[in-house]
Each structure stands twice: as structure tokens, then as C-alpha cells.
Amino acid sequence: MSSSVHATRREDMFQSTSSSGYSNGYHHGGGSGGGHVSGQRLRRGSRSRSRDHGNGSNLRVSHRMTEQQQEEETGTERAPTPCTDFDMAYFHSYAHLGIHEEMIKDRARTESYRNAIFQHQDRIAGKVVVDVGCGTGILSIFCAQAGAKRVYAVDASNIAVQANEVVKANNLSDTVVVLHGRVEDIEIDEEVDVIVSEWMGYMLLYESMLGSVITARDRWLKPGGLILPSTATLYMAPVTHPDRYSESIDFWRNVYGIDMSAMLPLAKQCAFEEPSVETISGENVLTWPHVVKQVDCYTITLYELESVSTRFKFKSMMRAPFHGFAFWFDVEFGIPAIYPSNNNTRTAFVESPNNHDTDGNQRKKRANPNEALVLSTAPEDPPTHWQQTLIYFYDPIEVEQDQGIEGSVTLSQSKENPRFMNIHLEYASNGRCFVKESVMR
């Protein structure tokens, strides 16, 4: 079942670059959008920042100095990335309460963050924390409850006004400072010990909010500081989903006794042109998953986020119609085994002795929760509001047990709007080769 709509789509703001490609013999021109099932738009929006900070609020609004001021005071330039109309529309979408309600009601998500914060209480108590994209402020309040000396709750969306009221209502104004603005613009006049952020979008990298965490890390985090979550892993696997195909496509073969199969090409395009955010089960997955991208939040750079590519090779574990690929992710709230001397030094993470990859393509076995808490959006784990992201073919491919499936996938930021994600998928099985291109927006 698809997720419900939680934010109004701004067509005038969110127009992606067009793409075209071939999938199972069908050509689709023009722009292909992302994340909906049967015409339903599936976007969380994204928690972040809008410069209009509301009226009558006691929020602190702190922006960087202008280039001229910086040059006058230091003789150097330090200009932030400009805030675009796309950014403003993105931030505006997170002013809607429904998005935050959906996230907070996601118990797997919210309780994982709360548990991680208190699991690392010894590293948070008495320390300075930044909550990047604080939304309603719930993670900031968890950090205050864990004994943080000061929490900077940063958000550019107008939801920051309500977050400030929530902080005051819980008598935490002396600890939690709500800053309304972009991480790129606001000023914090001290180094911080901990960064906490719920930055993950659909398919992990959609929305590009990880870039804000990287910016906060590079601007403020002390050497040896803690980042929660510390690592993330994006997976993909071939899937079979005959029920989904039947309800979207086979329906048209017989409608009240009328042959409407002439609608099939259009039905396939409408149902499967775009990435779909929905919930599947482990029974839909045909193979062990492949690791698309591993993210170390201590060392990843903005440049790495521009394009992610991987080659994959699968072997089907059953005979079934192969309908497409599913993507999901895990994040881990671990501690670096060796603290870096600076934020550019790669770190090793504490793992259980049982942590190992039996195969480079298989999902990593995780540590004991007491050692490294994991939030997973995998099909076999409890459902989350992220669900899974599926890229369907227009026509299924029949595969036999042990039949090979191989190819490559590239996920790249749209040049027009980096918050959109272009997906270029090439795959082959039993001598047949295909290409599928789409845009998640």
C-alpha cells in the first residue's frame, strides 16, 4: 500500500529536468517524476529552513555575515551556497504539521533516535549539541533530557516557530536554542560536541539533506565529536510483485466485461514510469541485496553526493516474474573506535565480533543493539514511513531459479534542482538488455 499524501506539491517550484529512456521496449519522453502509486504523490517534503521567521516569535535568527563584512573583518571570503527557489519550496513543505506527525508517529524511527541518544548519554551529558533540521524539536528535547548543556535546534522551515513554543512549554529554553535559518546561514559561536539529525529521505539520498549535516560537521564539530547516526547503507535487490502488477495493469483487460486492453500502454506508463514508494515484504525479494552506497557521516563529502554508481550481479533464488528493483536503507548509531584527529580522517566503527560480510553483495550482519543501534527500513523489518522505493519495469521478465541478473545503477543529483534524484538503471538477464531512466522528485 502506498503512503498517503502529506504535503501539497508545488508544480511551479518543483519542475525537474526532463529525461527519456527505454524500458522493456517502451519509450517515455519528457520528465518522469518520483514516488507515487496510482497517481498518489508520495513525498515527505523535507525538514528544513525558510528565512521568513514569522511574527511575534522569540526565535533567534542568526545569519552569516555578508561577503563584504567578512572581507572587511578577516580579509577572506566565506559565502554560503545561495538559497534557491527550489530550496524555499522545499523548506515551505516542512511547515505542514502532517509531515511531522507522520514522522513522529513512526515508532521505529522516533524510538530508535530516542534510544540512541540515551545510549550515548555519557557523550551528550554536559555537551553542546546541534540538531540539524529539528522540525518540531523532539530530538533536541531528547538531547536536553539526556543532559546536554546546550542544544542548538536548527530549522529553516516555519515549523521552527512551533518548535520554539514546544521548547518553552517544556521549560527548556535555557538549554535548547531554536535557530530559524539554514545551516549554511546561521551562526553558532562555539564548537559542538554532537550532531544529531534525521536527514534520511526516500531511497536514503533523496532530498539531499545529508549535505546540511556535512556543512554543520565541517563548520562546528570538534575533532572526536559524535554524529548520530554515524553510518548509513543503501541496498537494492530484484523483486517480484504480481499483486501490484495485477491491480495496476491486468485490471484493464476486463472492465465490467469490456475489453479495455487498449489502455495498457498508458496504464503501464502511469503506474511504472516513476519510482514508487510503498511497502513490500521479504517474500517479494528475489535475491540477497546488493550494497549501493555506504555512507560514513564523519568523512563523506558533498562531492560524493553528486553521483553514486554501482555495478550489481544477482542470482534469483526462485522462479518468478521479475517486476523491478527495490531500494531500502539502514542507519547505524555507532561510536568511532578511533576518534579522528580531524574531520577528514577516516574512522573505524565499533562492531560486534559477529559483524561481517559473508558476501560483498549481501546485507551486513549487525552488531548487538547494546553496541550499535540500527534503524532499518528493510522489507523484513518493522515498517517505517520511508517504506521501500521501487523501480518497476513496464513488463515483467520471467526468471528461473539461479538465473543471473546483472547491470548498473547511477543515482545523481539533478543539475536543475539537487534535491531531485535522477536514476539511470541498466540491467540484463538471459541475454536481454534494458535501460530505465526516471526522476525522483
Whole-angstrom distance, CA of residue 209 vs CA of residue 192: 19
- β-bridge pairing 26-28 and 21-23: antiparallel
Q: In what order do the strands lie in the sheet with 128-132?
A: 176-180, 150-155, 128-132, 192-196, 221-228
Instruction: Give the Å distances, CA to CA, from 20 to 23, 29, 264, 435.
Output: 10, 5, 20, 10
Q: In what order do the strands lie in the sheet with 307-315?
A: 307-315, 404-413, 421-429, 432-440
Cell 517504506 sits on residue: 387
Across-strand partners of 355?
none
Rg of the chain over all Cα atoms, to the nearest angstrom: 23
Q: List, in order, residues 6 or more apart from 84 with CB less than 8 Å away.
A: 417
Cell 518468478 sits on residue: 320
Joined grid coordinates for residue 356: 561481517
Fill in the amino acid letter for 374.
V
Per the omega criterion (within 30 degrees of 0), is the bond before 229 cis?
Answer: yes
What size, in residues, is the chain?
441
Whole-angstrom distance, CA of residue 117 vs CA of residue 191: 19
Catalytic residues: 198, 207
Whole-angstrom distance, CA of residue 218 vs CA of residue 221: 6
Instruction: Give the Å distances, CA to CA, from 85 to 10, 50, 199, 208, 419.
Output: 11, 11, 20, 15, 12
Instruction: Tell me the helices (H) and strands (E) count for the chain, helix number first.
Output: 11, 19
Instruction: Give the Å distances, CA to CA, from 307 to 130, 231, 310.
Output: 27, 18, 10
Give phi and psi for 60, each to the nearest 5: -85, 130
